Amino acid sequence: VSTEVLGRPVSELETPAAVVNLDRLERNVARAADYAAAHGLGLYPHAKTHKTLEIAALQRSAGARGLTVAKSREAELMAQAGFGPLVLHYPVVGAAKVRRLLAVAEAVPLTVAVDSLEVAEPIAAAFRARGLTAELLIELDVGLRRTGLTPEGAVALAGEVEALGGGLVVAGISCYPGHLRYDAATIERGLVEVDAILARTRALFDAAGLRCDRISGGSTATLFLSHRTCMTELRPGNYALLDRMEARGAFGPEDCALTVHATVVSTSVAGRFVLDAGSKALGEAPPPPDLAGAAGVAGRADLRIEAASEEHAHGAGDGELPRVGERLALVPNHACTCVNHHDTLYGVRDGMVETVMRVVARGALQ
Ligand SMILES: Cc1ncc(COP(=O)(O)O)c(C=O)c1O
């Protein structure tokens, strides 16, 4: 990481540059931590959003109990840097990944979430052989229809894992209510249904004599309603940086901490301007249903980014268009996929570069 930009104005950064507004980041991190503390909920922010050690450290010092990761390589990188406990919330399949988990669990307390015996059994066997133990959450499908079991399926799998004889210890259940987004009424109503599924599953676990004191859930969209559910711990990710998708409800555009600074490089086509940040700098996420385009333009409601090709943002506007050399701050549709395109996040306060953060887990896909 080059540090020669430290203490320099953000306007001197070479573009495209992923810029983090540190005041907003710190405010977002504190809000979630304070909420979790006020309601006695364990906060395990998902590190896939920022993939940096600096933001993980900020979340920890604000009171996060641990971190969530999706990939075994992310777990390895975070554990090597001393971050734990970790919740790995993704089906871990394959011997190389299981071996990596052993190293992780030797360094920090590890919890894994699974939805099948095929995934649980090799992990349990490897951990047993090494004399290690990880806590296990059985994942429920609460409406996203991506991964997870029914309540009956979850209690059956928990019993099967207990019968394996060690390595993995059933500690409870988890879910990801990622189908609840955008509209406050839908989120509120949907979360009542999610809670009913969680409560029913916990009752089934209790009746079967299975441990269920950890109930893990939580996304950014549902974050501040979690206390109305039986969740005991939360795994929001996006809330730290936010984007066009999630800056709504409890958060607004003024909370978006991540922008991609870009320079106008062409205005040769009438009525258009082109910036040097295409999908390789912004990410390729579609806009949320009520917005259009490949990104927003911070502070310029008169300008639109109608599309992004690999290296070009295609801009249009209502009045006078920006000229070649002018810089704009673009708000990505989805912060997590945007960050994964950058080696570096520049932390900025009052217009000056204060920190340079390496996206250490960039490309940690395995
Ligand atoms: C399993 C799981 N948990 C937690 C999260 C964090 O959710 P969000 O980024 O909406 O806060 C995600 C995001 O994709 C996820 O897949």
**What values do phi and psi take at 286, rounded to 5?**
-70, 160
Calculate the alpha carbon distances from 52 to 1, 234, 279, 352 in Å: 13, 20, 21, 20
Q: For ligand 1, is residue 45 a contact (CB within 6 Å)?
A: no
Whether the CB-CB separation of 266 and 311 falls below 8 Å is answered with no
∠ Cα 320 323 329 (to 5°): 90
Q: Which residue has the tokens 């309601």?
A: 39
Q: What is d(CA 109, CA 87) in angstroms, rounded to the nearest whole number?
A: 9
pLDDT per residue as tens digits for the range 94-141: 999 999 999 999 999 999 999 999 999 999 999 999 999 999 999 999
The rounded mean pLDDT for the chain is 97
pTM for the complete prediction? 0.97
Beta bridge partner(s), residue 234: 43, 217
166 C-alpha to center of ligand 1: Å?
A: 29
- Measured from the CB, is residue 89 less than 6 Å from ligand 1? yes
**pLDDT by residue (tens digit) across 4-50?**
999 999 999 999 999 999 999 999 999 999 999 999 999 999 999 99
Assign 64 a pLDDT band (cuts: 50, 70, 90): very high
Count CB atoms within 10 A of the CB of residue 324: 12
Looking at residue 123, its pLDDT comes to 98
Token pair for 280: 């390789």
What is the Å distance from ligand 1's center to 263 Cα?
A: 32
pLDDT-derived band at 85, boundaries 50, 70, 90: very high
What pLDDT, on the 0 to 100 scale, is given for residue 3? 83
Name the nearest CA neighbour of 241 among 3, 1, 24. 24
For a ligand 1 pocket test, name from 31, 43, 44, 46 the mutation site with the most ligand atoms within 8 angstroms of its C-beta: 46
| CA distances to 51, 141, 242, 284 from 182, in Å | 25, 20, 13, 19
Distance CA 361, CA 358 (A): 9
Residue 1 has pLDDT above 80, yes or no: no
Convert the pLDDT of each residue in 185-217 to its tens digit: 999 999 999 999 999 999 999 999 999 999 999
CB 365 within 8 A of CB 69: no
Mutate to test the pocket of ligand 1, among 235, 246, 255 (most ligand atoms within 8 A of CB): 235
pLDDT score recorded for residue 2: 74
Q: By three-state DSSP, how is residue 355 classified?
A: strand
Letter for the amino acid at 342? H
* Cα–Cα distance measured from residue 257 to residue 183, given in angstroms and rounded to the nearest whole number: 22
Phi then psi for residue 119, to 5 deg, are -80, -40
Whether residue 226 has its Cβ less than 6 Å from ligand 1:
no
Sequence-ordered list of residues with C-beta below 8 angstroms from that of 357, at least 6 positions apart, any chain: 1, 20, 52, 53, 54, 55, 344, 345, 346, 347
Q: By percentage, how much of the chain surpasses pLDDT 90?
A: 99
Residue 245: name the closest of 281, 291, 280 by CA.
Answer: 291
- β-strands 86-88, 67-69: how paired? parallel
Residue 52 has pLDDT above 90, yes or no: yes
Query: Residue 75 CB: number of other CB atoms within 10 A?
Result: 33
pLDDT, average across residues 270-287: 97
CA-closest candidate to residue 86, choices 249, 285, 235, 240: 235
Token pair 């900020």 is at which residue? 58
Q: In testing the pocket of ligand 1, which one of 187, 191, 219 has its CB within 8 Å of the most ligand atoms? A: 219
